Amino acid sequence: MFGLDGPEALAADSLGLIAGIGDSVAAFDEARAAAEAVELPWPADAVTDVAILGMGGSAIAADLVTGAYRERLRLPITTVRDYYIPGWIGEGTLVILSSYSGGTEETLTAASQVLERNSLAVAVTSGGKLGSFYAAEGVPVIPVVPGMQPRAALLRMMVPLLVMLDRHALVPSLDSDMEEARATLTAAIAAYGPDVPEAENPAKQLARSLASRVPLVWGAELTTPIAIRWKGQFNENAKIPAYASALPELDHNEICGFAGMPAPLSELAQLVMLRDPRHHRQVQRRFDLTRELVEPHVAGVLSIEAEGQSALARMLDLVILGDYASLYLALLRGVDPGPVEMIERLKERLAQTGFGRSADPSA
């Protein structure tokens, strides 16, 4: 197994994803400024509901934002990960097309339908067909710097969503949350970054404890989308299987499967519980009681608690911890965390044929 300390440890990270997290505060500020600068040709009170359309690294940004504000949202917000958009999307719907590359076929297919519905559409993208198609149609486009891996551009995709919600008064004023979020990012980089040796670094220690294991990441309420982010980062960065579930729902089905888990799976399964101090009291009890029932059937259980005042800060603390841990896990495995060959191969194969009546008409 490979080491995690010293500059040579980072050599396998060909795209510099680990070093890139160090730019998070600048990314946060740039994304905020870009979203605030975009002119919106409708009044804030025109919005009746919100849909955020995207896939993968660009969709989880939406889940995280709505997860952080879920109890305080003034209108319903839905993340849509599909080619077809739901029937309820209409003229009053604020539709945010979130695609880092601007070339994702599900999002492009949906983009044309959104125009047919005369919705209040905005795109967040580094360009691609989505950027050019929407700009040509006069749709506001929030620009994102190109050349990154979508999952590494999380803050650049997420902050514009926050700003859009704020500009439409769909969340309480964000000013103090934004300030705490910046401080949280700084503290998380100082605690989990590559310069902190493994003996003092919770992210490196977490990666070590997950080596040769299959993470089953559990969240609840605020931490539900964070569990999905962790799962995705373990998949894409460390190139390992990982799964995410949420309480209380998993107590109504998934819990039964542990009793019949085959021994080879039991020996690999590492439960990771992402907990929040503000969980509903019964959710706290469920984490404890479910752990008691499941622990004999898995190789290990880790419990990690979010820290911070605002929900946004607690969320970012856990997101950065998971991002670093997944990248360190790649290094431990001797794997380059950057390229996602499986995704690229699949996209190339899919692109060999057109993708439907609603695909970008300018293609």
Is 244 in contact with 228 (CB distance < 8 Å)?
yes
Is 129 assigned a catalytic role?
no
Is 297 assigned a catalytic role?
no
Q: Return the residues of window 128-167 that contact ligand PA5 according to CB under 6 A.
A: 149-151
Question: If we measure between CA atoms, which residue out of 210, 331, 206, 208 comes closest to residue 270?
Answer: 210
Per-residue tokens: 62: 């939406």
Per-residue tokens: 48: 């009746």
| Identity at 243, one-letter amino acid code | Y
**Using CB under 6 A, which of 24, 66, 93, 104 touches ligand PA5?**
104
| Residue in the block written with tokens 């490979």 | 2
Per-residue tokens: 105: 């076929």
**Using CB under 6 A, which of 55, 62, 165, 246 touches ligand PA5?**
55
Q: How far is CA 108 from CA 81, 104, 138, 187, 362, in A?
A: 12, 6, 16, 37, 11
The piece of 99-107, 109-117, 132-140, 263-271 that touches ligand PA5 (CB under 6 A) is: 99-107
**58 contributes a contact to ligand PA5 by CB under 6 A:** yes
Q: How far apart are CA 131 and CA 351, in angstroms?
A: 18
CB of 235 to ligand PA5, least distance (A): 9
**Using CB under 6 A, which of 66, 101, 310, 358 touches ligand PA5?**
101
**360 contributes a contact to ligand PA5 by CB under 6 A:** no
**Closer to ligand PA5 at the Cβ: 201 or 235?**
235
Interior angle at CA 58, CA 327 and CA 147, nearest 5: 70
**235 contributes a contact to ligand PA5 by CB under 6 A:** no
- The number of residues in the chain equals 363
Is 91 assigned a catalytic role?
no
CB-based contacts of 256, cutoff 8 Å, min separation 6 = none
**Using CB under 6 A, which of 24, 79, 107, 326 touches ligand PA5?**
107
The piece of 48-56, 132-140, 205-213, 286-294 that touches ligand PA5 (CB under 6 A) is: 48-56
Footprint of ligand PA5 (CB under 6 A) = 54-58, 99-101, 104, 107, 149-151, 236, 340, 343
Residues designated catalytic: 236, 252, 347
